Structure 1
């Protein structure tokens, strides 16, 4: 089974899609896929599908959805791509198992794009922490390349999935910030300017991205533009939230005003320059 969560939902068994067209069974499959290899309890599934308005027939309806998914799995197991028998020793209940209190979808981590993304992102983050910016940039770029758009963009999202999607998007943003950090440490500040301007425009209150833009502008010879970027962020934060930028961002602002040497690309990872850059660290 191959599972794609980082974009439109994709779940293929023997090369055949088993994603239902109906909304609620699609929600059910998406939640099981996100929590693959873990038991998802019946109350959790019901909360996702019906929220607080759980009908009296919910248990029976949920079992019907499970049966529908297993029928699609059975068809895929029997036919595959070629129409010949596939995996005769495996049945749908081995793929979507009934456990005490819930259900579990059996998916290997290497066949799940979310797990693959998390693995590459963790390795990239570890490389960055040890000062290997080259490896960090490559690993984090590979992690981000697995995204095909907004996670589960074609799935109706209830309360449980909404939290899951929010968490995935936060992981994506963190990986992106770390990849940009690695590229800044590699001296790629000039080539990052267009990307950072676009990201800051999309996320005008993200201090990490604003700090990275300020650093890239300063290193590209645009100190006044870096100061301008700070003032734009400050104005947005005051207008929208009534707060000043964080102390760490204010330190970066003062360092740019003073032309501190720590902002140049001479600082080693872990020294002052990186501390100023890593606002979220």
Structure 2
């Protein structure tokens, strides 16, 4: 059994894939997944679902969503599996599953290994574990879930961890002089994070180190124009330093 939240939320059992159809039931499942093996208070569920505008029937309705989720588990995954996962534990509920059945935990464990390798100067290990961590992602966290303010905090935190892991991978790969391999990854990253000047700087440097000096200068001019037109800013020190390194290099 696997619970996937790095992308559209899914519960996978062998080849069976279950995703709640009702948006608020999907929200409840997402909240339980994000706090796996911890008590999710009923108040937290209500806060996620309605924020400051909870109806008078909020408690009963939230309990109904839990009931619906349990019922769906039984129907979709079988009675034995369906009844044992969501445990009522006052003052709330617990999704009780092994940590390694969640893609979130797998990502975090792999990213932790990458950070540990960085701490001891192991660039090869950093690149390997960081890449493995990033491959766990299927898309934006909870991509198909209408997130309230509680879930949005979790999503933002995961996105920050992803960016940190991407930077680890890029630094390690640059140290290992894997410039050609990095170019495709960096082009994708600067499209995803168009105002991350550090990533643009790494793309400029990687292109230059791979012998593509003209492409490197073009990449610099492209981000320089973007920053000027969209934000009214000059390139950062990292970007200017990258450009100077390209200009100093031999054609």
Cα shift at 1:188: 1.6
Is there any run of 5+ residues in structure 1 with no aligned partner, and where?
Answer: 80-85, 261-281
Distance, in Å, in 1 between the alignment partners of 2:100 and 2:191 is 35
Q: Which residue of 1 aligns with 2:6?
A: 6
Distance, in Å, in 2 between the alignment partners of 1:180 and 1:158 is 33
Q: Which residue of 1 aligns with 2:145?
A: 155
Alignment partner of 1:210 is 2:216 = no
Distance, in Å, in 1 between the alignment partners of 2:178 and 2:105 is 29
Alpha-carbon displacement from aligned partner over 1:40-86 (angstroms, at most 9, x marks no partner): 2323222221233211111110011112222334556754xxxxxx4
Q: Secondary structure at the match of 2:3?
A: strand
Distance, in Å, in 2 between the alignment partners of 1:247 and 1:194 is 24
Seen in structure 2, the aligned counterparts of structure 1 residues 13 and 106 have a Cα distance that, compared at 3 Å, is: farther
Q: Which residue of 1 aligns with 2:228?
A: 238
Aligned 1:32-43 pairs, distance under 5 A: 32-43=32-43
Alpha-carbon displacement from aligned partner over 1:245-269 (angstroms, at most 9, x marks no partner): 3334333434444449xxxxxxxxx
Q: Which residue of 2 aligns with 1:185?
A: 175
Distance, in Å, in 2 between the alignment partners of 1:73 and 1:199 is 37
Q: Secondary structure at the match of 2:93?
A: strand
Seen in structure 2, the aligned counterparts of structure 1 residues 101 and 242 have a Cα distance that, compared at 3 Å, is: farther
Q: Secondary structure at the match of 2:11?
A: strand
Distance, in Å, in 1 between the alignment partners of 2:204 and 2:178 is 14
Cα shift at 1:214: 1.2
Q: TM-score, normalised by structure 2?
A: 0.85
Asked whether the equivalents of residues 9 and 19 of structure 2 are also in contact (C-alpha less than 8 Å), the reply is: yes
Asked whether the equivalents of residues 18 and 69 of structure 1 are also in contact (C-alpha less than 8 Å), the reply is: no
Alpha-carbon displacement from aligned partner over 1:218-247 (angstroms, at most 9, x marks no partner): 212234433332332232223222333333
Asked whether the equivalents of residues 201 and 238 of structure 2 are also in contact (C-alpha less than 8 Å), the reply is: no
Q: Which residue of 2 aligns with 1:174?
A: 164
Cα shift at 1:36: 0.8
Q: TM-score, normalised by structure 1?
A: 0.77
Is there any run of 5+ residues in structure 2 with no aligned partner, and where?
Answer: none
Distance, in Å, in 1 between the alignment partners of 2:231 and 2:43 is 37
Distance, in Å, in 2 between the alignment partners of 1:212 and 1:33 is 35
Seen in structure 2, the aligned counterparts of structure 1 residues 62 and 14 have a Cα distance that, compared at 3 Å, is: farther
Q: Secondary structure at the match of 2:140?
A: coil
Aligned 1:1-281 pairs, distance under 5 A: 1-12=1-12, 19-74=19-74, 79=79, 86=80, 92=83, 95-259=85-249
RMSD: 2.8
Distance, in Å, in 2 between the alignment partners of 1:136 and 1:61 is 47
